[in-house]
Amino acid sequence: MATNNRTGSLVVVVLCLAALGAALYYRINQLSTDVGGPGLITSATSSLHDAATAGNVSVINAAIAAKSDLDPPLTGVSGRNGQTPLMLAAAGSKADCVDALIKGGAKVNARAADGRTPLMLAAGWADDSMVRSLLDAAARVDERDENRWTALMMAAARGSSESVKVLLDAGADVNARNKWQQTALMIAAQSGSSEKVAMLLSAGAGVNDQDQNGATPLALLAASEDADAAGLELLIAAKADLDSADIDGLTPLMRAADKGDAQRAIALLNGGAKADLRDRQGRSAADWAVARDDEKGREVARIVGEAGK
């Protein structure tokens, strides 16, 4: 009976952890959808927005010649309210439109309703050439949106590795924190990009910083849906604390075990992670692996069990 109760309790906790992980993953990955796709904006405040979205530089040049307002805020479009033509052109990688708008005097540090700037949108949705163009036009590199995300965080979450490098070279604050106390390194680790992790570590990112839940970059990468062992090995080599526990007592090894990822578990154990630690509810990494009730979990439990002997 005691075994049944323990198993039931563990299942509940697994579900809670999954929900927490999903919430954190959503905070990062919602960035992929909340500015909309590349299509025309049929309810735009002005035709200038449609021109910027479509890359129609002749319309933009005509507006400049007519001395029209180049920064009308978009209204009535969910996720894009307050965005200017320059923001839309930057997010859509419309280089000719971006150049024309900047030369025409568009505000390079304008803010949308959510506080995002053209640079933030370029960092997350365009390529490094857009990021360079805006920085060359005096875009401020460390501006924050309403959730205190910076352009570097946007690039770390879903932009290109090249954009991360350009922003770092421009002096972006590598250890800035957002509303949830996440740094760019934590966000890159959660996204699973070992290349971005390497760049941010080289720039001096805090390898053992913790977010509001006590999770470190190593813990977030261990729990990532997309990462492999390469990023873990980079963090381990950078002297990440292998046994740092979050507010629930979960270690990186427990998170890897919960994912049923043998490769990550082996990397952590080879680095020196302790196999016998327990979370606040008394569960070990092997317990987390077994709770998956699948072959992956049983394999990780075997690996962790042998390491703990």
Burial of 28 (0-12, 13-18, 19+ CB in 10 A): buried
Give all domains of the chain, ordered by start, each with its CATH number. 1-33+177-309 (1.25.40.20), 36-173 (1.25.40.20)
Over residues 216-226, the mean pLDDT reads 94
What pLDDT score was predicted for residue 221? Answer: 96
Reading the block at residue 152, the tokens are 């570097």
What is the band of 267 on the pLDDT scale with cuts at 50, 70, 90?
A: very high
Check residue 124 and give its pLDDT: 97
Distances in Å between the Cα of 261 and the Cα atoms of 66, 147, 288, 294, 301 are 60, 32, 12, 12, 10
**pLDDT 10s digits, 89-112:** 999 999 999 999 999 999 999 999
Instruction: Say how far apart CA 151 and CA 141 lie, in whole Å.
Output: 7
| Residue 171 neighbours by CB distance under 10 Å | 10
Note the pLDDT of residue 42: 42
pTM of the full structure: 0.87
Q: What is the mean pLDDT of the chain?
A: 88
- Predicted confidence (pLDDT) at residue 22 exceeds the cutoff of 70: no
291-309 pLDDT per residue, tens: 999 999 999 999 999 987 6
Q: Is the pLDDT confidence value at 239 over 70?
A: yes
Confidence class for position 31, pLDDT limits 50, 70, 90: low
